[in-house]
Amino acid sequence: MVNESGFERYFFQPAASDAGTSLGAALWVTHGIHRVPRKMVEAVDTLGVEFSAAEIKRELDKAALDYVELQDAPAVAARLVSEGHIIGWFQGRAEFGPRALGNRSIVADPRKAEMKDILNRRVKFREPFRPFAPSVLAERVGELFTPGKSRPSCCARTAPATTSARWCPPSLTRTAPPACRPSRARRTRSITD
């Protein structure tokens, strides 16, 4: 739809389900009842709560969980994922809507064919057919996926990401099967920072 619509700018409300009715209700009251004029604002999907380091530490201590404060969390996360570990990534404000777009994500190595089943069975507790979104450096997306428009306006933040429907090439279906649906469609998160 994005590639063929002819529109240069677009916005897809991130909680486009019953969960998004609160946003519609707030807009209706603002514009329909209070007659506040509409204006274009930069769309963001990080409308949720944010926790300080002190708040996080207090909750970890309260739960008596072991933890280590890291100096280079991205490097440690990359190493752990490459060793087959599954990690939870949490930073900044939570996303509005059901999609994890970089601020609250489960990160795993998609090169393991069984990873989708492991995540669905042991972590997500959901149906086995559900795929996962691959994260790829923005400058390398074209090497792995067919071109498509991205939407940086909605997803620019600490780990800016664009989410768009594109197709998995056969090579990726073989090397990173959890990232692709049986139809070869997928939702990619391209990391730009």
State the pTM of this model: 0.66
Q: Which two tokens stand for residue 55?
A: 């708040």
Read off the pLDDT of each residue in 52-66 and give the average, rounded to a whole number: 94
Q: For the segment 103-154, what is each residue's pLDDT rounded down to a tens digit?
A: 888 889 888 878 888 888 888 887 777 767 777 777 877 776 665 544 443 4
- 3-state secondary structure at position 190: strand
Distance in angstroms (rounded) separating the CA atoms of residues 73 and 89: 10
Q: For the segment 70-115, what is each residue's pLDDT rounded down to a tens digit?
A: 999 989 999 999 999 999 888 888 887 776 777 888 889 888 878 8
Choices 2.60.40.1120, 3.40.250.10, 3.40.47.10, 3.90.870.20: CATH for 41-191: 3.90.870.20
- 3-state secondary structure at position 3: helix
